[in-house]
Chain A
């Protein structure tokens, strides 16, 4: 029993550490309606394509709130660099939506999407 614990406790500890370090991969997935970042990005792409700027603006606010929620969950399994890149893209996206710049907004949307895919992977 003692030998088992001597092996089991460190092994279990290391497994927990690995899970924490990979947590971003799992915890970035939406747990509800208000933290569905890919869903928000999809609908924003549609609104921007149709130049529905008010709807795109509303969606952006929800995207921003969703990102704040998800960030608290993924911070232990991701690097500051990738979080910073996603943050910056979201900020630029806001500028493009406010300026009603279709090309700029679409560029930023796809960049956010790309950073999102990379997050924790």
Chain B
């Protein structure tokens, strides 16, 4: 038995099976994963690795395990999508941990959460003073959503009764020195217009630009290869190998 060859073939099978299953199971981000999703991911990954390197048993048995776990995960997704009651049971629900600025200590105890954990999550949200918090909700994926008291909310153009232009999203016109014609057409612009704009930034040829984007408000962002920055600021706090 050529073990190396068998491992290579099994690795290819596991890799592409995982890829297909991951696509099938959707686009949930790591941050959106519930605890169960997290465990599910680890288990599926572990079965895939077993299928690859555990040559003592057939790849087929591990592969079936992989498919069944993924199928069950898919089934759970469908159930939670169509049946809210089940979704509440399976995925949990958001819980208010701070209400009207008061910490709900009984709720925290029930959820096995410490006040220190809440404070940490608040700091992650940029909140360092509990007095600023009106509501804090612990989401089912473990993240904390914070609603600050009205007086601590950031000022918006609406508060100031200012009219603002919609900026929309940026579209890449040049990427890595290459003009993206399709995006130019989409933004109703042409090469001539682009080159005229670039001249204002001292760019004579598209290849001199690393990235050029245009937003719906007509504002250009230009980044040249030659930034004229001699020394990049070092933000490291400890002298390392680099």
Residues of A within 8 A of B (CB): 10, 13-14, 17-18, 20-22, 71-72, 75-83
Give me 14 A-to-B residue pairs in the complex whose CB atoms sit less than 8 angstroms apart, sorted by A's number: A10-B23, A17-B16, A18-B63, A20-B13, A21-B59, A21-B60, A71-B1, A75-B2, A75-B6, A76-B10, A76-B59, A79-B57, A80-B55, A80-B56
Within 8 A of A (CB), among B1-43: 1-3, 5-6, 9-10, 13, 16-17, 20, 23
Is B102 an interface residue when CB atoms closer than 8 A count as contact?
no
Contact A22 B60 (CB under 8 A): yes
| Closest residue on chain B to residue A71 by CB atoms | B1
Chain A residue numbers with a CB within 8 Å of B1 are 71, 75, 80, 83
- For the complex, would chain A's binding face be called helix, strand, loop or mixed by DSSP majority? helix
Complex alpha-carbon distance, A72 and B6, angstroms: 10
Chain A residue numbers with a CB within 8 Å of B16 are 13, 17
Chain B residue numbers with a CB within 8 Å of A82 are 58
Nearest CB of B to A119, in Å: 10
Contact B6 A76 (CB under 8 A): yes
Contact A20 B9 (CB under 8 A): yes
Nearest CB of A to B50, in Å: 12
Complex alpha-carbon distance, A70 and B63, angstroms: 24
Given A17-B13, A80-B56, 15 more pairs with CB closer than 8 A:
A13-B16, A14-B20, A18-B63, A20-B13, A21-B13, A21-B63, A22-B60, A71-B1, A75-B2, A76-B9, A76-B59, A77-B59, A79-B57, A80-B3, A80-B55
Chain A residue numbers with a CB within 8 Å of B9 are 20, 76
By the criterion of a CB under 8 Å from any partner CB, how many residues of chain B are at the interface? 19
- Given the known interface contacts A17-B16, A17-B63, the answer about A81 and B2 at a Cβ–Cβ threshold of 8 Å is no
Residues of B within 8 A of A (CB): 1-3, 5-6, 9-10, 13, 16-17, 20, 23, 55-60, 63
Chain A residue numbers with a CB within 8 Å of B6 are 75-76
Contact A75 B5 (CB under 8 A): yes
Nearest CB of B to A93, in Å: 19
The residue that A10 contacts in the complex, of B3, B5, B20, B63, with Cβ under 8 A, is B20
- Given the known interface contacts A77-B58, A79-B57, A79-B58, the answer about A17 and B2 at a Cβ–Cβ threshold of 8 Å is no
Nearest CB of A to B56, in Å: 5
| Closest residue on chain A to residue B51 by CB atoms | A21
Chain A residue numbers with a CB within 8 Å of B63 are 17-18, 21
Complex alpha-carbon distance, A86 and B59, angstroms: 18
Chain B residue numbers with a CB within 8 Å of A17 are 13, 16-17, 63
Chain A residue numbers with a CB within 8 Å of B10 are 76
| Closest residue on chain B to residue A80 by CB atoms | B55
Complex alpha-carbon distance, A75 and B55, angstroms: 10
| Closest residue on chain B to residue A82 by CB atoms | B58
